[in-house]
Amino acid sequence: MEESHYLNCKSRAQNYNPPVDLRLLDYVSIYDNNLMCAICRCPFVDPVVLSECDHVFCRDCIRQSWNSNTSYTPLGPRGDCPTCRTPAKLGPRSATSKILVNLVDELVVHCPKRDDGCKAEVRRCEVQDHVNIYCGYTVIECTDDDCTLPVRRKDAAQGCLHFGVSCLSCHKELQKWKLEAHWRSECADRRVHCDMCKSSVFYRDLEAHRKEACPAMSVSCPGKALGCTSRSKRGHAELHAKSCTFAKLAPVLLKQQERLDEQEAAQKEMSRKLEVLEGGFQNMQGILYPPGVETSQRSADNSLTPSLQERLFGSGTAESTTPTGTAAGYDWTESAVDEDAVSPAETMHTAFSSATSPRQRAAPLPPGPRPADLPEPFSSDFDIASPTGFPPPATNGGPYASPLHHLLSMHESLRDEMTRVSSALSELDGRHSMQILNENLRTREEISYLAAQTAGLQRQVHWLTSSALQRQQGRSPTPGASSSGAGGAMMDAGAGAGVEAAVGAVSTAATALRGAARMVNVGGNGSGSGTGTGMRRGTSEEGRTKL
């Protein structure tokens, strides 16, 4: 009776505890790779050696591999070796497989109930016995005679534990015998130890703790983007940030980078605007100074100024170096002194005579001996204090101490006048362009109005023509008109031709008007300030070619 009860128990226990799947076991130590089945990647379970190629697999693995891709064969399981694709079939167990069996049987594994709390480590061949007979975490039938519910073997001595309790932490309702497992692995409110910092935290908070609070978690320096590669534990990160230049700079540089990006964008915008403006400016210049009109005068101005300044400056230095007489400049000074009597005046003279402008010609150079106090007129004081206004050279030539003096003052006043003239010119230009723009607008309006009118006219004429044609067609098939038909038709034809000619004229007028409108448009777009008629003709010519 006792024995039968035990057997009964055991069979039912096995019901609760199915045979251990050896492939799901965790191994205590690292095993040799040669003991690993290539299919299940576990140490062999019931290994077989394929006699055709000597590759070894678990019996179940090779069977399933063959079953899944070949239909049933009456000659027993056969197929290709999964590793080398040699056709093979399962033979009887060989000596090789016996050695392999012994090797894998000796491997030490953790009890499959390890997650439930069993700390046993057993040889793989004994693991089934451990679970069936010894393991305290194996589920068996309750020892209470009236109860058939499962209970863990180690708790069986405590009597029936199949009554409801609630977890103290999370208040979940469950049976007493499950409470321990609940506490171990399920309860969200159980306390667990953070494996980084060893502090005890709620299981539900563990992830957040690891991510945000754990002082042992290593975090990278805030200056990582700037190149600091340091990683330190969160607890030490602040310490590092205090000493790390990168970390201190990071917020500042970040802001700077933002501003830099902003500025860059703004600059791009500006440069685009500038380009547009430059284009407009160049157009304007092209209109203001059309090639061949004012070029000669301008070039004269341009050529005069640098040459004159150059010469003045050159002789000025020559004179000023004379008193000091440095060793390096000696030869040069010497030669300048030798030609003292004539050369500066001569150079001035050539300078002015080489200039083509008639205004410069109007100031004749009175030839005469150069005065002794030559350096004085070249001093900078003189330039600033030079008399303003334009002195007429013919009448006011007298009061000047020297011809050179006179010339210089003349040059000064000329320059002033030039700037005045140029500013006046630009002002005039602006006004002119405005005027033209306004005029353009008006003209365009007029033209569009005219175009609309012409279109209306065209429609009217068209209507008239079509009605005339209809009338003509209605008349020709009448039998009475056959005698005078020829003449009538001729007359009608003539009238039709006339009307058609009129229509043609109107439509050509319309196209001409459209062309004119486009012309004005081109003129307006291109410059906004077409001055001369020649210019306008030029643009209209351009417009026509575009048409």
Partner 1 sequence: MASTMASSANASSNKKSSAPSSSTNNANVIKRLQSELMTLMLSPTPGISAFPSDTDMTRWSATVLGPSSTPYENLTFKLSLAYPSNYPYAPPEVLFTTPVYHPNVDMAGRICLDILKPAGKGGEGAWSAVLNTGSVLLSIQSLLGEPNNSSPLNGEAALLWDRDQVEYKKKVLARHQEPAELEANGS
Q: Give contact residues for partner 1 (rule: CB under 8 A).
A: 12, 15-18, 20-21, 23-24, 38-42, 61, 64-65, 68-70, 80, 82-83, 85, 112-113, 115-116, 131, 139, 148-150, 178, 181
Q: Which alpha helices (H) appear in 385-402, and where do they start and end?
A: 393-396
CB of 135 to Zn ion, least distance (A): 3
In angstroms, what CA-CA distances link 367 with 341, 345, 370? 12, 8, 9
Nearer to partner 1, 190 or 359 (CB): 190
Rounded-to-integer distance, Cα 404 and Cα 283, Å:
42
Q: Which alpha helices (H) appear in 212-244, and where do they start and end?
A: 234-243
Nearer to Zn ion, 160 or 510 (CB): 160
CA neighbor of 437 nearest in space, from 521, 315, 353: 521
CB of 537 to partner 1, least distance (A): 51
CA neighbor of 378 nearest in space, from 408, 335, 416, 338: 408
In angstroms, what CA-CA distances link 515 with 448, 540, 545? 11, 9, 11
Residue 160 binds which entry of Zn ion, partner 1, none, CB below 5-8 Å type-dependent: Zn ion
Rounded-to-integer distance, Cα 47 and Cα 97, Å:
6
Nearer to Zn ion, 102 or 271 (CB): 102
Nearer to Zn ion, 3 or 146 (CB): 146
CB of 96 to Zn ion, least distance (A): 14
CB of 93 to partner 1, least distance (A): 21
CB of 24 to partner 1, least distance (A): 5
Residue 15 binds which entry of partner 1, Zn ion, none, CB below 5-8 Å type-dependent: partner 1
Residue 58 binds which entry of partner 1, Zn ion, none, CB below 5-8 Å type-dependent: Zn ion
CA neighbor of 112 nearest in space, from 91, 93, 96, 132: 132
Residue 147 binds which entry of partner 1, Zn ion, none, CB below 5-8 Å type-dependent: Zn ion
What pairing do the DSSP bridges indicate for beta strands 200-202 and 231-233? unpaired
CB of 123 to Zn ion, least distance (A): 13
Residue 20 binds which entry of partner 1, Zn ion, none, CB below 5-8 Å type-dependent: partner 1
Nearer to partner 1, 34 or 69 (CB): 69
Nearer to partner 1, 27 or 390 (CB): 27
Rounded-to-integer distance, Cα 502 and Cα 458, Å:
9
Residue 223 binds which entry of Zn ion, partner 1, none, CB below 5-8 Å type-dependent: Zn ion
In angstroms, what CA-CA distances link 328 with 176, 325, 331, 503? 113, 8, 8, 91
109 φ/ψ angles, rounded to the nearest 5 degrees: -125, 160
CB of 284 to Zn ion, least distance (A): 57
Burial of 287 (0-12, 13-18, 19+ CB in 10 A): buried
CB of 279 to Zn ion, least distance (A): 50
* Chain CA centroid to CA 145, Å: 78
Residue 118 binds which entry of Zn ion, partner 1, none, CB below 5-8 Å type-dependent: Zn ion
Q: What is the DSSP string of 456-474?
A: HHHHHHHHHHHHHHHHHHH
Nearer to partner 1, 112 or 523 (CB): 112
Nearer to partner 1, 37 or 348 (CB): 37
Rounded-to-integer distance, Cα 391 and Cα 394, Å:
9
Footprint on this chain of Zn ion (rule: CB under 5 A):
37, 39-40, 53, 55, 58, 61, 81, 83-84, 86, 111, 113, 118, 120, 135, 142, 144, 147, 149, 160, 162, 167, 169-170, 187, 194, 196-197, 214, 221, 223, 228, 230, 244, 246-247
Rounded-to-integer distance, Cα 131 and Cα 114, Å:
11
Residue 233 binds which entry of Zn ion, partner 1, none, CB below 5-8 Å type-dependent: none
CB of 250 to partner 1, least distance (A): 23
CA neighbor of 166 nearest in space, from 158, 176, 155: 176
Nearer to partner 1, 85 or 272 (CB): 85
Residue 82 binds which entry of Zn ion, partner 1, none, CB below 5-8 Å type-dependent: partner 1
